[in-house]
Structure 1
């Protein structure tokens, strides 16, 4: 997997965290860089840890299903992306409060990074070097989350659904690319 592909996946995965960070920024009466850093650390940390856990789980089954790994990667990415697209089209705009306590941030970080667990399983099938990949995903998510807090504080929640839609489309397209490459339709 190229660095460009990994970057695209990292951005796609971080869109849920970005959307919640935007809402956190909206809820903050005054934006603080310390608060934005806390949000970034939670989301970036969990977004990096979950694919690592998924990778560990996936490596246990990799040899048994190598012939179907591209289909599994496609299905997982399509399901995750499809769910993000569906959520982006729902009219209900929920924004969390400005609280940065351990309990609420942990719940939000887990909720926004569950899809990264499945991507980690996909990484195992694609034999992606996991430590650089999860570090990169964590850094990208951290950065976008900090930016999201600032954007939310300035602009509000109106971009939440667009971020989720973009992230979902990115993941579905990456799944299609993996599938088409393994089927021999793409050679680049």
Structure 2
């Protein structure tokens, strides 16, 4: 009876952590969706984000306890800084028009950069989870599922809203990313 209660508690905890980690993917999705995105790109970007939400905690788990105490806060700060840079760049390029090339979310480099920016905090969570007796396979699969589903949701919501915002979509998306970056850093 006690064992079943512990397993249910662990599952609930992992689901809450997965949803919290997926919120960055959701916000990024809304921001990129506001720029306008094709359905095929929604699937590709969400798959890469889901993969990063599996790989980053695994890397964190294998990195070890000592490095975790040193890099835990750095990983979160780096994720916030990347969101700030991406959001600021989106705002700047929307105000400047075609004179400034923006980060292309369709390119392999752009997708990797976006996926890394929302998945880097999963690394520090992996460091923490590696110190406890947690079902790692279940944890990383939940993280990947939540990251993928929440990024799809954000991308589709942003895509739908972008048609009503017109040319301001990229600026609004940039403000959203900038805000989440600030929230992570402060």
Residue 16 of structure 1 deviates from its aligned partner by 2.2
Distance 1:54 1:111 in 2: 15
Aligned-pair CA distance for 1:140: 0.6
Within the candidate set 51, 76, 82, 1:80 is matched to: 76
Q: Determine the C-alpha separation between the residues in 2 that align with 1:159 and 1:3.
A: 31
Q: Which residue of 2 aligns with 1:27?
A: 35
- Partner of residue 4, structure 1: 12
For the Cα contact (< 8 Å) 2:46–2:149, is it kept in 1? yes
Which consecutive residues of structure 2, in runs of 5 or more, have no partner in the other structure? Answer: 1-8, 91-101, 162-168
1:127, distance to aligned residue in structure 2 (A):
2.1
Structure 1, unaligned runs of 5 or more: 63-68, 169-188
| TM-score of the aligned structures, taking structure 2 as reference length | 0.65
Give 2:122's aligned residue. Answer: 116
Aligned twin of 1:184: none
Scaled by the length of structure 1, the TM-score of the pair is 0.64
Report the 3-state secondary structure (helix = DSSP H, G, I; strand = E; otherwise coil) of the residue aligned with 2:122. helix
Q: Is the 8 A contact 2:84 2:177 kept in 1?
A: no
CA 1:147–1:119: 2 relative to 1, 3 Å: same
Q: Which structure has more helix as a fraction of its residues?
A: 2
Shift of 1:33: 2.6
Query: What per-residue deviation string (whole Å, max 9, x for no partner) do you get for residues 124-154 of structure 1?
Result: 1122111111011001100010111112123
Q: How large is the RMSD of aligned CA atoms in angstroms?
A: 3.6
